[in-house]
Amino acid sequence: MALNQALSGINAAQADLNVISNNIANAGTVGFKGSRAQFAEVYAVTGLNLSSTAVGSGAELTNVAQQFSQGDLETTNGSLDMAISGNGFFVVNNGSGNTYTRDGAFQENAAGYVVTAEGANLQVYPPNGAGGFNTSTLTNLQLNTAQSAATPTSNITISSNLPAGASLPVDTPFSPTDSNSYNNASTLTVFDSQGGSHSATVYYVKTANNTWNANLYIDGQSAGTQAITFNSAGTLTAPASGNLSFTPVQPTNGATFPATMTVNVTNTTQFGTAYAPGTINQNGFEAGTLSNVQIGNDGIVTAYYSNNQTSQLGQVAVANFANLQGLQQIGNNSWAANTSSGTAVMGTAGTGQFGDIEQGQLETSNTSDTTAQLVDMIQAQQDYEANSQMLGTVNSLSQTLFQAVSR
């Protein structure tokens, strides 16, 4: 019996060493969670028949318990590197279903999808079109690596001051090539449907006291003339809405402008001071390429483009479980849900039980400080040696007994 007890002790110590060895081997693995071997005493009889003088039959490995303590966060500055500070797992899809990981070393594949090193797609909640996200469904996160689509100019806003004391132009009729036929001009850049830029100029021609004509020209071609009227205090009276409607000439490059281009002059004045162009804004922009990706602590992924436009691509989904110990380890720093772990509880970072997402950081292994592992290794080694010594002692006693019996 003593031989079996010593052998079980050796096996237990060996299992402990195997677990510790795996912890140390993964000290540099991103998002790794160490394990701890757990043992129990073995009896040859049931508890109901266990007497006060019964001796145990050794030890056995009962569980390799996962340790889900937080690892240190290490700054990498990688735009797609993420770490969860607190509870939760990233959700990834490997084509066969969702799995869960703390390894946030994501990268972009050739198709523009954000994936793990093994190619599993990071799951996000898609935008819902109303400024939020649809948390009832998951989708693969794809970066818009193609150009951000261009938007043609449809609205122009001008806030200027036309001089009340201005004289009527010397030359008539108005011509954009004759500076004596207009009083002032404001120039800006507008964009067509393909993102091509065009030069637009609004020429102001005083026609009478408190009355002006606004002439819009795009690339030297007339888009029409509209009247502007002020009261004696110099504030706009007509058009009442402040909107001037022009019909732009369509470009010859295959692109288009909107059928109507609106110029809002609500904040344009006619005071006795000199002409002031003021501020000029328009709502069109050229096509742009992806220049940066920002991921907030709440997991919202925002793309920034070279044309100064932004787009929200999704919100990183985060999962947690009622019983973390029940999660099934499947390798590659990933876990799968099962009946023991319970169904994944889905949510977003920074809310409820879920931690924050830190962009440009990675969670190191929670066994990266190997000091504790080395101490455990020494203890397991001593256990192994002690049981080995016991095995030798029992063997020596058995030989002595056999020799005595044979005499």
The C-alpha atoms of residue 106 and residue 363 are separated, in whole angstroms, by: 12
At 236, the amino acid letter reads L
Which of 57-71, 94-108, 286-300 is predicted with the least confidence, judged by mean pLDDT?
Answer: 57-71
CA 76 to chain centre: 15
Cis status of the peptide bond prior to 239, with omega within 30 of 0? yes
pLDDT (mean) for 241-247 = 97
Do the beta carbons of residue 289 and residue 148 sit within 8 Å? yes
Do the beta carbons of residue 206 and residue 167 sit within 8 Å? yes
What was the pLDDT predicted at 398? 64
Tens-digit pLDDT profile for residues 33-61: 998 888 888 876 655 666 666 677 778 88
Q: What angle in degrees, to the nearest 10, is found between the helix axes of 2-25 and 370-406?
A: 160
261 beta partners:
246
Q: Is 360 left (phi over 0), alpha (psi -120 to 50) or beta?
A: left
User: Between these two residues, 269 and 147, which has the higher pLDDT value?
Assistant: 269
With a CB cutoff of 8 Å and minimum separation 6, the contacts of 196 are: 251, 253, 255, 286
What was the pLDDT predicted at 294? 95
What was the pLDDT predicted at 316? 98
At 290, the amino acid letter reads L
pLDDT (mean) for 179-185 = 96
What was the pLDDT predicted at 45? 63
In this structure, what are the phi and psi dihedrals at residue 37, rounded to the nearest 5 degrees?
A: -75, 135
- Length of the chain, please? 407
The C-alpha atoms of residue 117 and residue 77 are separated, in whole angstroms, by: 18
Which of 122-126, 145-149, 282-286 is predicted with the least confidence, judged by mean pLDDT?
Answer: 145-149
Tens-digit pLDDT profile for residues 341-372: 999 999 999 999 999 999 999 999 988 888 88
The C-alpha atoms of residue 286 and residue 255 are separated, in whole angstroms, by: 12
Q: Residue ranges per domain, the chain?
A: 2-69+366-406, 74-139+317-363, 155-282
Give the torsion through C-alpha atoms of 165, 168, 169, 174, to 10 deg. Answer: 120
What was the pLDDT predicted at 219? 94
Do the beta carbons of residue 162 and residue 204 sit within 8 Å? yes
With a CB cutoff of 8 Å and minimum separation 6, the contacts of 185 are: 201, 202, 203, 204
Confidence class of residue 382 from pLDDT cuts 50, 70 and 90?
confident
Cα–Cα distances (Å) from 254 to 183, 193, 307, in that order, read 34, 9, 21
Do the beta carbons of residue 347 and residue 353 sit within 8 Å? yes
Q: Which residue matches tokens 């040859």?
A: 44
What was the pLDDT predicted at 122? 98
The C-alpha atoms of residue 356 and residue 143 are separated, in whole angstroms, by: 22
With a CB cutoff of 8 Å and minimum separation 6, the contacts of 339 are: 326
Tens-digit pLDDT profile for residues 184-205: 999 999 999 999 999 999 999 9
The C-alpha atoms of residue 7 and residue 13 are separated, in whole angstroms, by: 10
Please count the other Cβ atoms lying within 10 Å of the Cβ belonging to residue 292: 11
Tens-digit pLDDT profile for residues 267-312: 999 999 999 999 999 999 998 888 999 999 999 999 999 888 889 9
pLDDT (mean) for 116-143 = 94
Residues of the chain above pLDDT 70, percent: 91
User: Between these two residues, 17 and 256, which has the higher pLDDT value?
Assistant: 256
Do the beta carbons of residue 270 and residue 230 sit within 8 Å? yes
pTM: 0.76
Pick among 3.40.50.10420, 2.60.98.20, 2.102.10.10, 3.40.718.10: CATH of 155-282: 2.60.98.20
20 SS3 class? helix
Q: Which residue matches tokens 């109507």?
A: 260
